[in-house]
Amino acid sequence: MYGVSSVVGIEGGYKGFYSKNTVALTPKSVNDIHKRGGTVLGTSGGGHDTAKIVDCLQDRGINQVYIIGGDGTQKGASVIYEEVRRRGLKCSVVGVPKTIDNDIAVIDKSFGFDTAVEEAQRAINAAHVEAESAENGIGVVKLMGRNSGFIAMYATLASRDVDCCLIPESPFYLEGKGGLLEFVERRLKDNGHMVIVVAEGAGQDLIARSMNFVDTQDASGNKLLLDVGLWLSQKIKDHFKKKPSFPITLKYIDPTYMIRAVRSNASDNVYCTLLAHSALHGAMAGYTGFTVAPVNGRHAYIPFYVSRRPNAVEHTAS
């Protein structure tokens, strides 16, 4: 349609701009990539050297760059766009939201979210079967969600088997009246089993205090998370050890990377195609410095400075 002569892919995330060669992307080479999980180009944490990245774009004569990823990746795209504009280069910088966490502001949802929620159901179903089959059975499932609890919340609503959902946006406590342990004990007495879903970013302040842990960061500058699922499971076990007449059976399931690695479902396949079309048409129309995604059901071009704000579950106290 647009007479594009060459399309290349950058391997290995942002580092790939200046540490690896480009890969030619042809209709034949990308013909069936939608049938696989993961990424054919690879990914990496950190490595965002803005000057080197823009040098690469300039040296290779790239006039359109499409940057696919989540909240952190879109922030990086925004910085690249500013540097491209500062140098006066004729290069469109376009962001395509792809994160299962759904943590990009303004947009209706990000690519991968539907698939993640659907796959999370398998883990929750397994936890429910295990819990229901044992005396005072407890199934604990940890799902992805560093700062946003959308996967955990939507999977909980879809499942109908979850008794308690813990997300980063809603603080909780363990001990005392109204605490989580009191709720677990009451639920087991009433129902004989229960399922707890916890987002990976929930309760991090509680764990850090209990372990005297000092915050550290990964290569991308994100706070390293402690395993809230293991910690919570152990706290529940310790609580019931003090009650010999109240034995429990607890099973902990962590499907996070299994969920991230599966192939996209039909809904996400269609959504991905629409995102790609919108991104391409926007760049070809001369727009730059935007993320493409639906807002209130209509595909829109959202300036990077708007989409850089984090997205989170709105918590309203009852």
Tell me, what CATH number does 29's domain have? 3.40.50.450
Local confidence pLDDT in tens for the 318 residues of the chain: 788 889 999 998 898 888 877 899 999 999 888 888 888 888 877 668 899 999 999 999 999 999 998 888 888 999 999 999 999 999 999 999 888 888 888 889 888 999 999 999 999 999 999 999 999 999 999 999 988 899 999 999 999 999 999 999 999 999 999 999 999 999 999 999 999 999 999 999 888 887 766 666 655 566 778 899 999 999 999 999 999 899 999 999 999 888 988 999 999 999 999 999 999 999 999 999 999 999 999 999 999 988 656 677 766 654
The confidence score (pLDDT) of residue 42 equals 85
The confidence score (pLDDT) of residue 186 equals 95
**255 shares a domain with 121:** yes
The confidence score (pLDDT) of residue 38 equals 82
The last residue of one of the domains, among 261, 281, 296, is 261
Active-site entry in 49, 59, 101, 163: 101
3-state class of 159 per DSSP?
Answer: helix
The partner residues of 252 in beta bridges, in order of sequence, read: 140
The confidence score (pLDDT) of residue 276 equals 93
The confidence score (pLDDT) of residue 240 equals 95
Does the residue 299 lie in any domain?
yes
H helices of the chain, where?
16-19, 50-60, 71-87, 113-133, 150-159, 180-191, 204-211, 228-241, 256-261, 266-284, 304-307
Question: What is the sign, positive or negative, of the torsion defined by CA atoms of 268, 270, 272, 275?
Answer: negative
Residue that has been written with the tokens 């998370």 in this structure: 225
The confidence score (pLDDT) of residue 217 equals 61
**91 shares a domain with 166:** no
**159 shares a domain with 45:** no
Does the residue 100 lie in any domain?
yes
Contact 93, 247 (CB under 8 A): no
Does the residue 317 lie in any domain?
no
Q: Is 227 a catalytic residue?
A: no
Does the residue 2 lie in any domain?
no
Does the residue 1 lie in any domain?
no
Q: How many helices (H) and strands (E) does the chain have?
A: 11, 10
**133 shares a domain with 104:** no
**127 shares a domain with 252:** yes
Q: CA of 175: how far to CAs of 182, 184, 217, 236, in Å?
A: 7, 11, 29, 11
**50 shares a domain with 36:** yes
In DSSP notation, 109-151 reads: --BTHHHHHHHHHHHHHHHHHHHHHSTTEEEEEEE--SS--HH
**278 shares a domain with 155:** no
Does the residue 312 lie in any domain?
no
The confidence score (pLDDT) of residue 65 equals 96
The confidence score (pLDDT) of residue 315 equals 64
**150 shares a domain with 137:** yes
Specify the number of domains making up the chain.
Answer: 2
**101 shares a domain with 143:** no
**71 shares a domain with 205:** no
**238 shares a domain with 210:** yes
The confidence score (pLDDT) of residue 47 equals 64
Does the residue 245 lie in any domain?
yes
Does the residue 231 lie in any domain?
yes
The confidence score (pLDDT) of residue 40 equals 85
Domain with 158 in it: what CATH number? 3.40.50.460
- The whole domain housing 211 covers 116-261
The confidence score (pLDDT) of residue 307 equals 60
**164 shares a domain with 274:** no
